[in-house]
A = this chain, B = another copy of it.
Amino acid sequence: MPAPSPSLPSPTAAARPATQHRTLANGLTVLVEPMNRVRSAAFSLMVPAGSSHDPPGKNACAAMLCDLLTRGSGDLDNRGFTHALDDLGVNRGESVGASHLSVSASTVAENLPQALRIYRDLFRSPHLPEDEFAPAADGLRQSLRAIEDEPAHRVMLELRRRTYPTPWGLPTDGTLAGLDALTHADVVNHHRTAVRPNNAILAVAGHVDADEWFDLAAECFEDWEERPTPTIETGPRGPARDHLDHDGAQTHIALALPAAAYGEAGYYEAWAAAAILGGGMSSRLFTEVREKRGLCYSVSASLSGLKAGPGADAAREGRLFCYAGTTAERAQQTLDVLMEELWSLRDGVTEGELTRCVARAKSGLVMSQESTTARASSLARDWHHLGRLQPLSETLEAVEALTAETVSQYLASRPAAPPTALTLGPAALAWPE
């Protein structure tokens, strides 16, 4: 059977106007990608006020701000805000990252400008009602306690905390102790000092006109005053090897290894290595751990990274994260096989493995070009991580330039450091040396 590699449309065939960008005088960057084959449009708006700005000991401040922001702003009260977006048919989400507070919205293209005006008020003139602090805190407390019943989620949160330095590794949704120490005044202060236009990013994709959106962005944000960038001090990391007792039937194993970060030399090689190790059903981990031995119900590896926001003394850090979930009695064998596979990855990858992973990447790129939400978030992500736009053709060239040899060279060149490792389950495991 022939195994053709997917061919990608050339930029000309797709008739896609180039992405345009403009940075306002106050430092807010606007990115617009017209997609004239669709009727919808989406934006992603990132404001540099994430959980890394939480006051020391009050990890939960950004999460509480994110909740209170949606409880009324501008002319709208709590219900009015949600209703106005619903009336526009907006599919929306607000979330907290370490560096940014982000909102995303998508709907039919003609309704998106009005949605942006509503979110402008959310960031610029929120009510932050004091009498809603208590119910919002109760809701967040419930969410944080629920994680106790979600060990697969908890082990990855706790691994992040051990992998990255404080405050970058802290849970972006906060901690119970942080929430208990938090006051309404802290949240108001977080808004006053951290929510600002400098280093904010607005990315728009879909059935839109770039000039119209530059005008709209100016209307919404041009008179928003720049504020000083708060300083963020980087603290220690957690223990490199740890176990958390959890009374359940399962053991959850989580590992993190240093890898090239997005924007660094070797990133695409690191990405291919992660996919070959644990990205999907032809990956080594899936084959060796799950399919051949039936050792676990879930195993995967993926590349992720930290890009500290402005004002921080921390740098960019990439990581290869691995996870396996298994019954307690098979946990030791699962860990042993996992470590063996991690170790033998240093011997390199095969041409066949690389070809398959490149083919999947290329069809994935085509499909991501068809979603306005995916494009908007990808534009914003590129600007945050790279400080520039990365055209599809450039990503494609980088993927096509990969060979088994370059990936193997990358892997051989990495220092042989032990992973940051965490288990969560009824008993600790023996770590192979």
Contact = CB atoms under 8 A, between A and B. Distances in A.
A388 interface: no
Q: Count this chain's copies in the assembly.
A: 2
A118 to B, nearest CB: 8
Interface string A71-104: 1000100110011101111110000000000000
A39 B356 contact: no
B114 A1 contact: yes
Given A145-B327, A149-B248, A139 B290 contact: yes
A294 interface: yes
A129 to B, nearest CB: 12
A370 B39 CA distance: 8
Interface stretch (A18-26, A264-272, A361-369, A376-384): A361-369
A193 B138 CA distance: 54
A295 interface: yes
A91 B142 contact: no
A117 B2 CA distance: 12
B366 A6 contact: no
A87 B151 contact: no
Nearest to A135: B294
A120 to B, nearest CB: 12
A37 interface: yes
How many of chain A's residues touch chain B, expressed as a range? 35 or more
A150 interface: yes
A234 interface: no
Q: Which of A107, A142, A281 has the most CB of B within 10 A?
A: A142
B86 A360 contact: yes
A146 B39 contact: no
Given A40-B370, A325-B146, A370-B40, A107 B138 contact: no
Interface in A119-156: 134-139, 141-143, 145-146, 148-152
Interface of A: 1-9, 14, 37-40, 70-71, 75, 78-79, 82-84, 86-91, 106-108, 110-111, 114, 117, 134-139, 141-143, 145-146, 148-152, 247-250, 280-282, 287, 290-298, 325-327, 330, 352, 355-357, 359-364, 366-367, 369-372
11 contacts: A3-B84, A6-B111, A40-B370, A82-B281, A89-B363, A91-B367, A111-B363, A137-B294, A139-B294, A142-B325, A146-B297
Given A108-B366, A135-B294, A143-B297, 19 more contacts: A1-B75, A4-B88, A6-B88, A6-B110, A7-B108, A8-B108, A37-B38, A38-B370, A78-B291, A82-B282, A86-B360, A91-B364, A107-B363, A108-B363, A139-B291, A146-B297, A146-B325, A149-B152, A150-B152
